[in-house]
Amino acid sequence: MSLVLNGQKYSSNGISVSGDFGSSVKLGTGRRIVWKCLDDFPQGLKSTFKLVVVVAPGCELPNEGVNPSEGFVQSHFAVNRQTVVDTRKNLMWVRNASIFGHPVTYANSNSLIEKFNQERYAGYDDWRMPTREEFETLVTDGKEAGWGKQFARYISDFLTTSGFKNVQLGYYWTATTSEAAGNRAFVANGWNGSIRPLEKTNYYYIWPVRSTK
């Protein structure tokens, strides 16, 4: 690791830098690099600089399903800072269930997912919308346990207790289009987990998922 200021190059051995860098550090979320710049430049800095992190070939992301950063919930949900892994179905969900902040049309959902992958959220670039069947795996346990039938026990509340964040009571898009009507796609709601086809011009939330195998 090196730093260039005003045309002069400083190595990590010559400046007060510490944290997660070097050949022994694996890829993953939650990495941190600290530079105590006033120790090296007590007079202060008037320079603008950029830190560029270069990934070494051969590095691998940690298996968050096996070693979750925040533990297991209900034995099969491996909870991490940015993701929750369903180890039964080999699916990794974004932990923040309203990561994009607002509902969108079905057509606009694809462009948001594409940008999401370009930014490599949580270190991955293969996020997508869930299928109807994949979304059903999220809500089945809650339904069987009696969730989704009364106030403060909605499916969204069940998923929150399972480790997810910001689960909405509204509808979520799935990637499954209705065979009976091509202008409709199946959506799932956070109230009782029901899934039905609605028009693609409506505005609903997106909950990205990816396969872990």
Q: Is residue 129 part of a domain?
A: yes
Which pLDDT belongs to residue 185?
Answer: 96
Q: Is residue 67 part of a domain?
A: no
H or E segment at 78? strand 77-79
Q: Note whether 86 and 158 are same-domain residues.
A: yes
Q: Which of 163, 166, 164, 200 is nearest to 183 (CA)?
A: 200
- Distance from first CA to last CA of the chain, Å, rounded? 33
Question: Which of 39, 60, 81 marks a domain boundary?
Answer: 60
Which pLDDT belongs to residue 144?
Answer: 87
Which pLDDT belongs to residue 95?
Answer: 96
Structure token digits, residue 203: 């505005």
Number of domains making up the chain: 2
pLDDT digit string, tens, across residues 15-45: 777 777 666 666 665 667 777 778 877 887 7
Q: 65 vs 57, 78, 120, CA distance in Å?
A: 23, 5, 18
Calpha distance 152→46 (Å, rounded):
53
Which pLDDT belongs to residue 57?
Answer: 61
Q: Note whether 79 and 182 are same-domain residues.
A: yes
Question: Which of 40, 60, 80 marks a domain boundary?
Answer: 60
8 Å CB contact between 3 and 9: yes
Q: Note whether 157 and 88 are same-domain residues.
A: yes
H or E segment at 54? none
Q: Note whether 159 and 55 are same-domain residues.
A: no
Question: Which of 31, 60, 89 marks a domain boundary?
Answer: 60
Q: Which of 85, 82, 80, 104 is nearest to 206 (CA)?
A: 104
- Print pLDDT tens along the chain (213 aa): 566 766 677 666 667 777 776 666 666 656 677 777 788 778 877 766 666 666 666 666 778 888 898 899 878 899 999 999 999 999 999 999 999 999 999 999 989 999 999 999 998 999 999 999 999 999 888 888 889 887 778 999 999 999 999 999 999 999 999 988 889 999 999 999 999 999 999 999 999 999 998
Q: Note whether 152 and 81 are same-domain residues.
A: yes
Q: Is residue 14 part of a domain?
A: yes
Structure token digits, residue 144: 């069987």
| The residue count for the chain | 213
Q: Note whether 104 and 207 are same-domain residues.
A: yes
Q: Is residue 65 part of a domain?
A: no
Q: Is residue 98 part of a domain?
A: yes
CATH number at residue 109: 3.10.100
8 Å CB contact between 165 and 97: yes
Q: Note whether 87 and 164 are same-domain residues.
A: yes
Q: Note whether 182 and 96 are same-domain residues.
A: yes
Q: Is residue 38 part of a domain?
A: yes
Q: Which of 42, 41, 43 is nearest to 5 (CA)?
A: 41
Structure token digits, residue 158: 């069940």
Q: Note whether 39 and 104 are same-domain residues.
A: no
Q: Is residue 66 part of a domain?
A: no
The parent domain of residue 11 ranges over 1-60
Which pLDDT belongs to residue 22?
Answer: 67
Q: Note whether 80 and 163 are same-domain residues.
A: yes
Q: Note whether 2 and 83 are same-domain residues.
A: no
Structure token digits, residue 38: 């006033």
Q: Note whether 128 and 161 are same-domain residues.
A: yes
Structure token digits, residue 53: 């992190």
Which pLDDT belongs to residue 125?
Answer: 92
